[in-house]
Amino acid sequence: MNNKEIERKFLVNESEIPFDLVNMPYQDIVQGYMTSTENDLSFRVRNVLYRNKNGEPIGEEWFQTIKSKGTKVRDEYEIRLLREQFSKLWRLCDRTSVHKLRYDPPCEVGRMDLDCFKNDLRGLWLVEVEFDSLDECDSFMPPKWFGKEVTEDVRYSNLQLALNGIPKD
């Protein structure tokens, strides 16, 4: 089944976030890449640990995702994995991984993912808004707390962040 991912991505200044993240459930995500930069597809495995607002685990899932090249619109194929399958594939993600906390604040249009990166990417905050259509995407007016749009800047893809770290603008 072919799925289209339609999204826009923005930098965020943590002090501008208008939500109380302390009282919000979140996802603790580690994801790694099994791909080369010459490939037209990126292959990712992801472990999602769901946490309640107190940080206590409330569930866990594992996924494999294949994405085509692109920025605003690209093909995306995702399947659920068993823990054992994830563990075997994770070994192929040698030094190409990211760790982030993901919050899902309310959004009037589409679905919003607010990511706080950890480890070598600490301090980087990105917000992605996913849409059902390109028209909806193109007409979206970002709220004032969103920073610079980086949708078309491939340096802010999770794969490039895993490979190269935070871009030096």
**In the chain, what are the helix, strand and coil shares in percent, each to the nearest 5?**
20, 45, 35
Catalytic residue among 26, 33, 77, 103: 33
Sign (positive or negative) of CA dihedral 11, 15, 17, 21: positive
103 is catalytic: no
Structure tokens at 138: 């193109």
- Joined tokens for residue 136: 């909806």
Give per-residue burial for 114-146: e unless 16+ CB within 10 Å, then b: bbbbbeebeebbbbbbbbeeeeebeeeeeeeeb
Distance, in Å, from the CA atom of 27 to the CA atom of 43, rounded to the nearest integer, reads 21
| Closest to 115 measured CA to CA, from 97, 131, 101, 98 | 101
Q: Which residues are catalytic?
A: 33
